[in-house]
A and B are shown apart, each in its own frame.
Chain A
Amino acid sequence: MQALAQSLARFLAPISRISLWIAASGLIVMTVMVAWQVFARKVLNDSPSWTEPGALLLMSWFILLGGAVGVRDGEHMGFEIGLHYAPAPLRFAMKLTTHVLIVLFGLYMTVYGWQLTEKTWGAKMAGISIPQGMDYLPLVVGGVLIALFAFENLVNQLARGADTVVNAPGAPASAAVE
C-alpha cells in the first residue's frame, strides 16, 4: 500500500500542479476577456459577442480543475467537527466512505459529461464558433481528475491506517471568500 501511495503521488503531483496552473492562467485570460469586452463596448463602440461565452467556458475549466486540485489538497469546505470528535476507528471509516463516494461521483461525472459532450458536439455555441460540446468537456476532465485524486486520498488513508490526526476545525483555504 505504501509503495502504491508513493507511485501514485509521483504520477499525480505534477498533474495537480499543471491543473492548478491551467486554472490560474484561465483566470487571467478571463480577466483579459472581460476587460476587452468593456473596452470594446465603451471605447470602440462595438460589443464583441465572443467574450462572454468564451469567459464562461474558461470559468468551467477554472472551477473543475481548481475543484479537483482542491480534492487532492483537502481544501474543500466541509463540516469537520464530526471528524474531529469521532473516535479513531469511526473517523477512519468516515474518511474511507468519503473518499470512495467521491471516486464514484467523479466517475459518474466523467461518463455523463462525456454523454453530454457527444450529444451536443454537432451544434455551435451562440456567439462563438466552437462546438457546444466543448462546454461539457470540463465535466469529463474534471471528473477524471476528481476520481483520480480521491483515489489517491483513499490509498493514502489506507496506507496511514486508522490513527491519523485530523486538523482542528478552523479556517480552510476557501474561508477567504467569507
Chain B
Amino acid sequence: MELWILFGSFTVLLLIGMPVAFCLGISSLSTVLYMGLPPVIVFQQINSGMNAFSMMAIPFFIFAGDLMIRGGIAERLINFAASMVGHVRGGLGQVNVVTCTLFGGISGSAVADASAVGGIMIPQMKARGYDADYAVNVTANAAIIALLIPPSHNMIIYSLSAGGNLSIADLFTAGIVPGLMLCGALMIAAYVVAVRRGYPAGVFPGMPTVLRTLAIATPGILLIGIIFGGIRSGWFTATESSCIALIYSLLVAAFVYRELGWRDFLEATQGAVRTTAMVLLVIGAAGAFGWLMAFLQVPQTTVAAMKTVSDDPYTVLLMINAILLVLGTFMDMAPMIIICTPIFLPVVTAFGVDPIHFGVILILNAGIGLNTPPVGSVQFVACAVGKISIGESMKTIWPFYGASVAVLLLVTYVPAFSLWLPSVFK
C-alpha cells in the first residue's frame, strides 16, 4: 500500500502538471503521513539531499558555459573547427559536429551546445545552400555529444543519484570514448546525407589558417585540458575544477577576448540561478523520495521482478534501454537521471553491470530523448534557431537517430568502450 501511495501520487501529480521537484516532495510527504512516521523526516532528507559538495559543480559549470558563449569562446572554437573540416563534402555539417564536440568539452550542456553552435552554424549553413532541416538535425544530434565529453554535469547528477560514491573522475573519463564514437558516427551520417543531397565541398583554407584559428581558440581548448587534467590527476575535486573553469572563462572573456561586459555578467549570473536552482531542488527533493524507496525496499523488489523475467544481463539491459528510451521521449533529462538511477542501478549491478558503464548508458539514452518529441528540449531549441517545425525536422532526422542508436547499442554491449579508458588511468 505504501508503495502505491508513493508511486501513485507521484504519477498523478506529474500528470496534472505539478513541477517534478514538488511531485517528489509531496508524494514522499503523503507516504510518510500515511505510514505514521514523523513528517520531519521528509524535510531532513530533503536538506541532506541538498548538502553534497559535488552538487555545487552543477551551477558552476552552467555559469561557466554561459560566460563562454557570451564571451566569444564558443565562436572561436567554431572558427577553428571550420578551418579543419570545412572542405569536406557537406563541410559545414562536419564543422558542426566537430564544434559541438569541442564545445561540449567546455560546456557539458547539450542545450547550450545547440543554441551556441546552432545559433552561429545554422544560419550560415542555410545561407550557403544547405537545407534547414539538415542544419537543424545535424546540430541537434551533435549537441548530445556534450553530455558524454567531460565536463558533463549530468554525470555529476548521476553520481549524486547513485549515492555520491561513484568517482566523478571515472565517470568523466568513461564518457570520452563513447562521446568520440558518437562524433564519428554523426560525421559519417552527415557525410552520407550530404552526398545524397549533393551539397558542395568547401575549399581547404591551408595549414596557416588552421594554425592561426587554433592559436586564437587556444584559451578555450586549454580549458578542456585544465578541467580534465585537474580532476583526473586528483589535483582538484570536480567542484573545485568547475570553480576554476568558471573563473578562467570569466577572465578570458573579460580580459583576453574583451567581449564580456558587466551587463552580460549580471545576466549570466541570474540565468545560472534560474536554471540550476530548479534542478538542485529536484535533487534535494529526490533525497526524500530515494530514502523512502530504500526504506520500502523498492530496489530489492525491482531486482527480484527483473530476475523472474530474465537471467541474462544482455536481455535486461536491452529492456532497460527500451524503457529509458521511452521515458526519455517525455521526461526532462535531470529528473529522469535522478528518478531512474536509484531504481535501475541496483538492478543492473545485480546482473553484474559496472555502475560507471551504466552511467554512460543512462546518459546517452536520456540524451537521445532530448531529440525526441513530445519533450525534446534540444530538438526544440535547434528547430527554433533554424525556424522549422518539429515535424519538418522529424521527416529527415532518421539517419542521425540511426547513428545515435547504433552508438548506444555498441556502448551498451561492449563495456570496454566505457571502461577501458578509466582503467588506463588507474
Residues of B within 8 A of A83 (CB): 16-17
Q: How far is the CB of A88 from chain B (nearest CB, A)?
A: 14
The verdict on A31 contacting B246 (CB below 8 Å), with A79-B17, A139-B46, A170-B380 known, is: yes
CA distance A60 to B47 in the complex (A): 8
Query: Which of A81, A108, A115, A116 is within 8 Å of B375, CB to CB?
Result: A81
CA distance A62 to B334 in the complex (A): 18
Interface centre among A59, A77, A98, A136 (most CB of B within 10 A): A77
CA distance A166 to B334 in the complex (A): 23
Contact (Cβ within 8 A) B17 A98:
yes
Which A-chain residue is minimally distant from B283 (CB atoms)? A63
Residues of A within 8 A of B60 (CB): 31, 34
The verdict on A78 contacting B50 (CB below 8 Å), with A109-B43, A169-B374 known, is: no
In B5-63, which residues have CB < 8 Å from any A CB? Answer: 13-23, 25-26, 29, 39-40, 42-44, 46-47, 50-51, 53, 55-56, 58-60, 62-63
In the complex, B111 has a CB within 8 A of chain A = yes
Residues of A within 8 A of B240 (CB): 34, 37-38
CA distance A98 to B333 in the complex (A): 22
Contact (Cβ within 8 A) A70 B13:
no
Residues of B within 8 A of A139 (CB): 43, 46-47
In the complex, B91 has a CB within 8 A of chain A = no
Residues of B within 8 A of A62 (CB): 59, 273, 277, 280
In the complex, A163 has a CB within 8 A of chain B = no
In B359-382, which residues have CB < 8 Å from any A CB? Answer: 370, 374-375, 377-378, 380-381
In the complex, A8 has a CB within 8 A of chain B = no
CA distance A161 to B53 in the complex (A): 44
In terms of DSSP, what is the predominant structure of the interface of chain B? helix
Contact (Cβ within 8 A) A24 B47:
no
Contact (Cβ within 8 A) B20 A76:
yes
CA distance A37 to B287 in the complex (A): 27
In the complex, B231 has a CB within 8 A of chain A = no
Which B-chain residue is minimally distant from A74 (CB atoms)? B19
The verdict on A79 contacting B331 (CB below 8 Å), with A60-B50, A70-B278, A178-B110 known, is: yes
Which A-chain residue is minimally distant from B335 (CB atoms)? A77
In the complex, B247 has a CB within 8 A of chain A = yes
Which A-chain residue is minimally distant from B39 (CB atoms)? A112
Contact (Cβ within 8 A) A28 B269:
yes
Contact (Cβ within 8 A) A101 B26:
yes
Contact (Cβ within 8 A) A178 B109:
yes
Contact (Cβ within 8 A) B244 A175:
no
CA distance A109 to B15 in the complex (A): 23
Contact (Cβ within 8 A) B15 A79:
yes
Interface size on A, residues (CB 8 A): 63
Query: Which of A27, A76, A171 is within 8 Å of B273, CB to CB?
Result: A27
Contact (Cβ within 8 A) A97 B39:
no
Interface size on B, residues (CB 8 A): 75
Query: Which of A56, A108, A176 is within 8 Å of B271, CB to CB?
Result: A176
The verdict on A94 contacting B284 (CB below 8 Å), with A75-B274, A79-B331 known, is: no
In A43-78, which residues have CB < 8 Å from any B CB? Answer: 52, 55-56, 59-60, 62-67, 69-71, 73, 75-78
Contact (Cβ within 8 A) A176 B62:
yes
Contact (Cβ within 8 A) A55 B335:
no
Contact (Cβ within 8 A) A79 B43:
no
CA distance A104 to B58 in the complex (A): 29
In A112-165, which residues have CB < 8 Å from any B CB? Answer: 112-113, 115-116, 135-136, 139
Contact (Cβ within 8 A) B374 A77:
no
In the complex, A173 has a CB within 8 A of chain B = yes
CA distance A53 to B21 in the complex (A): 24
Contact (Cβ within 8 A) A178 B370:
yes
The verdict on A176 contacting B109 (CB below 8 Å), with A55-B56, A62-B277, A116-B40 known, is: yes
In the complex, B276 has a CB within 8 A of chain A = yes
CA distance A100 to B25 in the complex (A): 14
CA distance A38 to B58 in the complex (A): 18
In the complex, A14 has a CB within 8 A of chain B = no
Residues of A within 8 A of B375 (CB): 79, 81, 169
CA distance A175 to B112 in the complex (A): 9
Contact (Cβ within 8 A) A178 B334:
yes
Residues of A within 8 A of B271 (CB): 173, 176
Contact (Cβ within 8 A) B53 A177:
no
In the complex, A30 has a CB within 8 A of chain B = yes
Query: Which of A52, A75, A82, A102 is within 8 Å of B278, CB to CB?
Result: A75
Query: Which of B23, B47, B335 is within 8 Å of A135, CB to CB?
Result: B47
In the complex, A23 has a CB within 8 A of chain B = yes
Contact (Cβ within 8 A) B381 A175:
yes
Given A63-B277, A78-B23, output 19 extra A-B contacts at Cβ < 8 Å: A27-B59, A27-B63, A38-B236, A42-B235, A59-B55, A66-B277, A67-B21, A82-B15, A98-B16, A101-B13, A108-B43, A109-B43, A112-B39, A116-B47, A136-B43, A170-B377, A170-B380, A171-B377, A177-B58
Q: List 5 A-B contacts (CB under 8 A).
A: A27-B63, A62-B273, A94-B16, A171-B381, A174-B279
A residues apposed to B, CB below 8 Å: 20, 23-24, 27-28, 30-31, 34-35, 37-38, 42, 52, 55-56, 59-60, 62-67, 69-71, 73, 75-83, 94-95, 97-98, 101-102, 105, 108-109, 112-113, 115-116, 135-136, 139, 166, 169-178
Nearest 7 pairs of A and B residues by beta carbon: A66-B277, A76-B19, A67-B281, A175-B377, A34-B243, A94-B16, A83-B17
